[in-house]
Structure 1
């Protein structure tokens, strides 16, 4: 959660939540009231903004990942202003509100990627399309009475995207000519050399793995992030209609249905369910006819109640065969609980004689050379690293120094003044 203040007006950028922190406390996120969620550091402590809430003119959500929008049901209603996001992200937010059984009075405004709107007399907003790992990700560009602010959480450059357009380099160069006062930049992978891989490379790898496995008539289960609709679509296309695709799991169904509303994916020929009885029936059928099905499930982080971990623990009528293929088209999000859960899951699978293909994946965050490219295209006066710990911010700061750009390091609840 970030706030930008210009001319006595405040714009909030993203309101995320730490769902893993809630899980550690064995609490259902939807059952936690707003004050408790703040107290337990599950959602941002916005107390320094609440005292000036009448100055907040908009809440802008850059994309639909939980760490960017899950806090909306808990905090947004305190602010008498609209929430602005792309149409797909609005659908995700609306579902979160429905799931959380929360009512908010904020208007939800859809703004298409590439479009602009006036927030106030002092602030105009433009959404620049960006590649990430969820549909309709944008970089909000704030043109204000005091200069232009670019908020690049989250992004990568993808020269061969398979679903939507990546960052438009000509657009970024034009912004540079206008002048960029500050760039708030995603530094999640700032310490990693090189560039982020294209999503098309993952699609090619999936095609190769499926080709070889199908030749042997072996069973195949793939797990990935439920919100990664581009990946889900590429898995379906890599199958090339050779097997019947079955999708299993609550979050997978929810994100796919959201994407279907906006014509981002067509699941009309696919069985998709989170109904326990239907899951049992479909898995029993697939277990007996493995060469006829491609299973796509939740559980890429080893979550105990997700589908793949439950299959591995024999909670469903599905029996693994020797050299059956399980593909993790994902990476392990580096938290202690995720590392433990995925390690246990993979050990269980390997004990069953399953062949595990790990990290068939392309990250959605910019690496060091992607960041350098963004810096050179935008030529901002100041860079503010965000979305990373001290080590990540330091890596970003070092890069900014190499590019001879002013850097300002922040921390939670700290105010940065721009000259």
Structure 2
């Protein structure tokens, strides 16, 4: 007769393996894209990008994904697949990968070189292994077989990813648009996308950035035509600023310069590095004599010069930012200069760009930007291209990715117009988990006209959620700036800081001298002598009240009282709330 233990072993139900899609970041925001796909003991990560801080994050350099879940499961990670070389897909790698035991990175050649170059800045290039793949390669990562298909974006070697799992195919588009006249002459591999759709796609994760715009995205080649027209009309120097990673855009700027007999000077560290990589890898082709060092600009007539620089987002420390303030070593704005901002504003940077343009106009430059003349096109699909991607892949489930909440919702609406049922569209936030399990009762009839995926699978957004927070990079610190620190910085930036320094005799508990007060960003001390004198008297009263019993057990309570009562007093007098910092010194 079997023992109870043996019986339990016999009848214990087998654990049902779930396929999980976990967006760790990049949902309900633009930037820091990172998705984990998990089955059993295997995880593959798609992209690991950063995001630039918004106005509510003073002093922060970058924001990176919260990878606490991956850190707990790092033994399961079989690899990181990177779709292309933009920082919102690669930028967090140097900050985070060491916490994951340095898993292998898989990506195409240009992206690999850009990541290696970035890792070298952190002295990590020998610690991280990058496996270079081609668009026709297939790789096995645990339970996943990975294939690639070329897509058009505004940087070469951009790919989407097909992920074959035990429950079906997942397609991740990466950033894409359908450009039939691409600058790099590499068209989208429609046949590969259609082949995946023919096999049966379980879930499509697709770029939502431009989901609010109808029609098709404009071809990158149109920029070349507009630049040619602009260069033909310009009488003086052309100073043109764009994203450092827009390799295709850089090629067109240099082409236009050469066509109009202009030498090209490059200013901006990231721009110089990316240009060097693209030339070395053969992605950009032109004679070396097309260039001139920025320090030699005075050797050439103004109408024979183009300066390409960083800073189109209004960054104060960028090349164009320094030019606009008259602080650039080699380039000073002069009347007749044409400044071209060949980019679109990142949300949150609008005011910085306005300030930049104001400064340039004051110095005598003429400024051209996208609203005036088409000098920038998006690298992201609009609604008709999104429909084509959905129609080619014919997914059973659709997960819009890469975008603010309204972008995800509008992409979901586009999918519904094609007949995909609402219950098969999973609009998610960071940390939510899409789960897929085999289920013989899962309906397929309502999808028969839309998808080729016939395995009875049920998908849903789990009630479980992974905690994901903003992880901020500030100088050498990663994740040590939290909401409390940000709140303090915001408070100081709004109403300033008010420091109270009191010195107390440790034996007599009497004040030694008068309280010292330091004010920064609150009131100008010389013009507020009356307020400061009254505040000193109030500080003395508070200290006496705390020391009148002849001893003090808790100096923290004195600090708390000073902070609260002086804060309330200052608000009553000024209707401002500075950060009050009491300092008690015992002597």
Normalising by structure 1, we get a TM-score of: 0.88
Residue pair 2:337, 2:364 contacting (<8 A) in 1 also: yes
- Asked if 1:258 is matched to 2:280, the reply is no
Residue 331 (str. 1) matches residue 352 (str. 2)? no
- Contact 2:326-2:333 at 8 Å conserved across structures: no
Within the alignment, does 1:100 sit opposite 2:122 as a pair? yes
Aligned equivalent of 1:32: none
Deviation at 1:402, TM superposition (A): 1.2
Match of 1:276 in 2: none
Q: 1:400 aligns with which of 405, 415, 438?
A: 415
Q: How does 1:119-158 map to 2 (within 5 A)?
A: 119-120=141-142, 122-158=143-179
Corresponding residue for residue 301 of structure 1: 313
Asked whether 1:378 is paired with 2:393, we answer yes
Q: In structure 1, what is the Cα distance between the partners aligned to 2:414 and 2:187? A: 23
Give the superposition deviation at 1:397: 1.1
> CA deviation digits over 1:189-221, x for unaligned, max 9?
1112221100111111111111122xxx32211
2:43 corresponds in structure 1 to 10
Q: 1:313 to 1:162 in 2, by over 3 A?
A: same
Correspondence for 2:355: 344
TM-aligned CA distance change 1:305 to 1:12, over 3 Å: same
> Which position in structure 1 is the counterpart of 2:573?
none
Q: Which residue of 2 aligns with 1:416?
A: 434
Q: Which of 304, 311, 329 is residue 323 of structure 2 equivalent to?
A: 311
Q: 2:206 aligns with which of 174, 185, 188?
A: 185
2:416 is aligned with 1:387? no
Question: Where does the alignment leave 5 or more consecutive residues of structure 1 unmatched?
Answer: 30-41, 274-278
The Cα of 1:270 is off from its aligned counterpart by: 4.1
CA distance in structure 2 between the aligned counterparts of 1:272 and 1:101, rounded to whole angstroms: 30
Question: Match for 1:269 among 289, 303, 320?
Answer: 289
Q: CA deviation at 1:25?
A: 4.0
Q: Do structure 1's residue 231 and structure 2's residue 249 form an aligned pair? A: yes
d(CA) in 2 for partners of 1:159 and 1:403? 23
Query: Aligned to 2:170, what secondary structure does the other structure show?
Result: strand
Residue 263 of structure 2: aligned partner: 244
Q: Is the 8 A contact 1:207 1:238 kept in 2?
A: yes
Looking at structure 2, the residues matched to 2 and 346 of structure 1 have their Cα atoms a distance apart, in angstroms, of: 37
Structure 2 unaligned regions, length at least 5: 1-33, 437-457, 459-587
Deviation at 1:150, TM superposition (A): 0.8
Question: Per the alignment, do residues 319 and 105 of structure 1 end up closer, same or farther by CA in structure 2, a change over 3 Å counting?
Answer: closer
Counterpart residue number, 1:84 = 106
Cα contact 2:297–2:305 (8 A) shared by 1 = no
What is the DSSP-based 3-state SS (H/G/I as helix, E as strand, rest coil) of the residue aligned with 1:202? helix
CA RMSD of aligned residues (A): 2.1
In the alignment, the residues of structure 2 paired with residue 320 and residue 73 of structure 1 have an alpha-carbon distance, to the nearest angstrom, of 36
Tell me if the contact between 1:8 and 1:55 (Cα under 8 Å) persists in the aligned partners: yes
Q: Counterpart of 1:117? A: 139
Secondary structure of the residue aligned to 1:64 is coil
- Deviation digits for residues 249-282 of structure 1 (CA, Å, limit 9, x no counterpart): 1011011112122100136234376xxxxx4x23
Alpha-carbon contact 2:53-2:60 (below 8 Å) kept: no
CA–CA distance in 2 between the matches of 1:321 and 1:16? Answer: 38
- Measure the CA separation in 2 of the matches of 1:184 and 1:103: 31
1:328-347 Cα distance to aligned partner (Å, 9 max, x none): 12111122xx2122111111
